[in-house]
Amino acid sequence: MANGKNFTEDFMESFSTDESNPKTPRENLAWQQQNSVAEYNKNVFNDLLTENKTRPVRVQRVNVVGCGKNFRDSFLQRQLEPLLNHNEHLTMQDFLKNVDLTTTNFTKTNTIRNIGLSIAMPQTKSPFTSSDTLEIIPTLNVLPVKRFFMKVGTDVGNGEGDGYLALQWKNIFGGGEFISFDTSMSSNRIGAKNRSQNLVSFSMPINNSPNLKWTTIGYQSSRLIDYTTYHEEFALGVTNRLSTNYYPAEKKLNHELSFENLLRGINMAYSPNNYRGNSLINDFFLLNAGHSLKSSLTYSIQYDSRNSPTVPHQGQYVKVSSEFSLLPGNRYIKSCLDTMSAYPISNTASVNLSLKSGIINKFNINPVNPLDKFHLGGPNDVRGFMLSGMGPKQMGMSIGGDAFFAAGASLINKIPYAPNDSNFKMHSFVNVGKLINISKKTHVAKELTTNVDMSIGLGIVYAHPAARLELNYVLPIVAHQGEDVRTGLQWGIGLSFL
């Protein structure tokens, strides 16, 4: 939370108008008059807040304009709680912090598009208020979200086709409830479906709280896997999730508890191009083909103070998770650690350090299902290797592992002659990692930290608001027999990178 003056300067920026050129002299005059009034109001507002920064304040009442019948009373009252219930020993600076908290509450529930503030003085002052106390009546101008959204599209080209449909219904019952439906289908022959994904998600705040959320997800997916024995993986399941909803700026821990039940399976298929020798069928996937049930309980804890989730300049990220598979015959605990730290070395350069690791501890002699194994290698983790190109192999093809570790160091800086705030960045990196299977005689720590694979490279990063894109020139320095390396250009897209 910024101090009072900085907050008001940032807050008033939301009232700035479009700078496009008007078409007529009359519109130009009206535009100039509107800008003059807005600038005058902004200056008066800033002067008022600056002069009364530490002055005692009493909020007489709160007005909310623009919400109509979009919100139920209990939900609205909970989001306005910082303004309604924290009114003792209040200064103007404290009041602005409460306004900021209220805005954050609405934003977390995804129920508004914009919110504005105006302050008025009451015509009559309360006789029970001291003479130096400033009585105010804040008015919040709320612009609710559009409740319905639909997007439909198709892509056809190079003998392939796909179609997608996305539906969203926000703030269903006036309390931040949200339901979405996404479906996509694609084929390598027009009219012959071979991959699909359907997802229905419902989420809602618990007890109207912006910081506690319940989510139920139902999904069905089918995809063809070509980096090992060629096969189709399918899943049909339901996940219930209870999670906290704190922003990185709040510097609090986020917790998540989820319960997943699904039917999944492996269908062997014919490889059309013998990519990486995947036309062969190894015993590991053959023995695990068919249907299986999975029921698991997962808990994770996360801390994130990064200024950006895709290309951070500073901040830390830590996530620890444990999944307990419950059903007999496939019981295990799967534990994962994911950390990342960004250290600025100048206004335009930073060093990013990352570490990921995981281990599966089995409770019986049955092998872990291929769909539950770890995989390593590719543009999003250890660069310089093919997707899932590291670790145990059978007949030259990846079968995944029971434990892994991967670490990376990156130097990110601006591209020469590019603006300092450009979304394009340069980066150079070193990645190391290893993936192993565990037996009774395996010393896990020793196995993971000896004879590790290593790669180096440099490239271009594009920090899109929705994802990170990379185009790198990669060079494997250390690789072991049977691993699939990648030398030369390699590109990746996603949110999480090593």
Question: How does pLDDT run across 146-187, given as a tens digit for each residue?
Answer: 999 888 877 655 445 567 788 999 999 999 999 999 988 776
**CA 22 – CA 233 distance, rounded (Å):** 56
**455 in Cβ contact with 474 (< 8 Å):** yes
Q: How far is CA 465 from CA 16, 247, 468, 494, in A?
A: 22, 16, 8, 11
Instruction: For helices 4-13 and 92-108, give the axis angle rounded to 10 degrees.
Output: 40
**46 in Cβ contact with 53 (< 8 Å):** no
- Residue 292 reports pLDDT greater than 50: yes
Average pLDDT rounded to a whole number, residues 416-441: 91
Q: How far is CA 285 from CA 280, 370, 377, in A?
A: 11, 7, 20
| Assigned CATH for 211-407 | 2.40.160.50
- Residue 112 reports pLDDT greater than 70: yes
The encoded tokens of residue 63 equal 């007005």
Q: Domain segments of the chain: what residues?
A: 4-123+131-144, 211-407
pLDDT at 164: 77
Q: Please give the CATH superfamily to which domain 4-123+131-144 belongs.
A: membrane protein fhac (3.10.20.310)
Closest CA to 369 of 395, 402, 416: 402
- What is the tens place of the pLDDT at every residue in 264-279? 999 888 888 888 888 8
- Residue 204 reports pLDDT greater than 50: yes
**CA 267 – CA 400 distance, rounded (Å):** 17
pLDDT at 7: 44
Higher pLDDT, 31 or 479: 479
Query: Any idea of the CA torsion for 150, 163, 198, 189, to the nearest 10 degrees?
Result: 170
Question: How many percent of the chain have pLDDT more than 90?
Answer: 47
Q: Which residue has the tokens 């908290």?
A: 101
- What is the tens place of the pLDDT at every residue in 369-384? 889 999 999 999 999 9
Q: What residues contact 92, with CB distance under 8 A and at least 6 apart?
A: 4, 49, 52, 53, 54, 55, 57, 134
pLDDT at 445: 86
Higher pLDDT, 151 or 88: 151
Q: What residues contact 212, with CB distance under 8 A and at least 6 apart?
A: 205, 206, 242, 243, 244, 245
pLDDT at 44: 67
**226 in Cβ contact with 194 (< 8 Å):** no
Q: Is 211-407 the same fold as 4-123+131-144? A: no
- C-alpha of 308 from chain center: 10
Separation of first and last alpha carbons in the chain: 30
**CA 485 – CA 389 distance, rounded (Å):** 7
Closest CA to 201 of 143, 174, 259, 241: 241
Q: Which residue has the tokens 């960004």?
A: 342
For residue 444, give the 3-state DSSP assignment: helix
At residue 246, what is the residue type?
Y
| Beta strands at 134-144 and 63-65: parallel, antiparallel or unpaired | parallel
Its pTM stands at 0.83
